[in-house]
Amino acid sequence: MAYQYDHILIRYGELSLKGKNRNSFIKQLLSNVKKALKGFEGLEYEKSHDRMYIYLHGENADEVCEILKKVFGISSFSLAIKTKPDMDAIIQACKESLDLSHPKTFKVAARRNDKTFPIISDQINRLVATEILKNSDWKVDVKHPDTKIVVEVHADAAYIMTDRIPGAGGYPVGVGGKAIVLLSGGIDSPVASYLMMKRGVHIECIHFAAPPYTSQNAQDKVMELARLISCYQGDILVHVIPFTDLQLAIYQNADESYAITLMRRMMMRVATKMAEKRHAQAIATGESIGQVASQTLESMEAINAVTNKPIIRPVVCMDKVEIIDLSKKIHTYDTSILPYEDCCTIFTPKNPITKPKIERCLRYEARFDYEKLVDRCVEDAVSIWVHPTTDQSEEEDLF
């Protein structure tokens, strides 16, 4: 892809809209970009109010580009050659940006960011094109060029670029606070996690395991899902909650039709405590209206009633096919459909209630000391860091 490119020029995403927060957004983006590219030690970074530049210093441009495509807060980026803002240097750099021995069609598109530069854009285009035509068999095609050479002239430098490579959009992860995502082994919650991160929210995940009813395989699958989505954030901390005792208590004390609703309320109580402990402002799930019995508005009302934290459901109004498309795009689908049991699937009642009554939930819950069990879930959680590039993970002692 790159011929003689020595730079990458990054254009900011929606953050350009965010007046006052701009500086902290740019700072976060720079820190996220550096973290994502920490394996490339030769890179050098520079930020300005409307662009960020990476000096490649010989690092592999294609590999760097692949990683940049997953960093939120970038609207687009381009490979670039940086040169002096004078016409000879610009022409020379444009020639270097092409493999002149392999002729294709091209078009030059110049822009003067510095309006004091004495040559207008049209004229720059013409001068550059003439030199290329003179020195090679390349041909001009203004409508459908194989290569578009973009020239941006600033006061202190000129940048010669290839076409724009689309960025991931969204906000830099970290500018939107922190949320605890309930991560199951299914299709929806990894997609919900991705969408939270895309809005700039740093996530930690919580997974409810019910050994021996759920297997190590099921937990490994969740860890793999967390690893797959961690490339959008850096590392992700996953809290695995031993949920068996609480689930059995629900089955002993409640009508079977209410088991799922009560289980969800307990999950929310555990998640709320974890959110407080981890200074997270919100909880997120992969619920979607109507998808299963426990995902009616009445159920959501009964579930929300146990917490004051906002519960965010990023896929709540999406069709299943839309969620599946997204899960394929972020490469979680193939792992999500592996057939391992989830704690919900094991204890699934034959006729789950679709319109649960909160009074009945409270009546069942009064029959046992659930608070103690909820506390124990949080105390006995095993917290594990997962990393994007390795399948290694390590436990962290948080409490």
Point out which residues bind Mg ion (CB under 5 A): 184, 186
If contact means CB under 5 to 8 A according to the sort of partner, which of ligand ATP, Mg ion, none does residue 207 touch?
A: ligand ATP
Q: At residue 246, what are phi and psi to the nearest 5 degrees?
A: -65, -40
Q: Is 194 in the site for ligand ATP (CB under 6 A)?
A: no
Strands 178-182, 282-284: pairing kind: parallel
Q: Is 207 a known ligand-binding residue?
A: yes
Site for ligand ATP in 62-101 (CB under 6 A): none
Closest CB to ligand ATP among residues 189, 383: 189
**Of the candidates 78, 184, 230, 247, which one interacts with ligand ATP according to CB under 6 A?**
184
Helices 244-253 and 358-365, packing angle to 10 deg? 110
Residue 303 near residue 264, CB atoms below 8 Å: yes
What's the CA gap between 111 and 397, in Å, rounded?
A: 54
Q: How far is the CB of 188 from ligand ATP (least distance, A)?
A: 3
DSSP one-letter string for 49-114: SSEEEEE-TT--HHHHHHHHTT-TTEEEEEEEEEE-SSHHHHHHHHHHTS-TTS--EEEEEEEESS
What tokens appear for 21 in the block?
Answer: 């927060």
If contact means CB under 5 to 8 A according to the sort of partner, which of ligand ATP, Mg ion, none does residue 343 touch?
A: ligand ATP
Listed ranges 84-92, 165-173, 200-208, 359-367: which one lies at the site for ligand ATP (CB under 6 A) = 200-208
Structure-token match 């510095």, residue found: 114
Cβ-proximal residues to 145 (8 Å cutoff; 6+ apart), any chain = 104, 105, 106, 107
Q: Is 287 in the site for ligand ATP (CB under 6 A)?
A: yes
Q: Is 247 in the site for ligand ATP (CB under 6 A)?
A: no
Structure-token match 């082994």, residue found: 185
Q: Is 295 a known ligand-binding residue?
A: yes
**Of the candidates 187, 196, 226, 259, which one interacts with ligand ATP according to CB under 6 A?**
187
Q: Is 292 in the site for ligand ATP (CB under 6 A)?
A: yes
Contact footprint for ligand ATP (CB under 6 A): 182-184, 186-189, 206-208, 285-287, 291-292, 294, 342-344
Positions at the binding site for ATP: 182-183, 207-208, 264, 286, 295
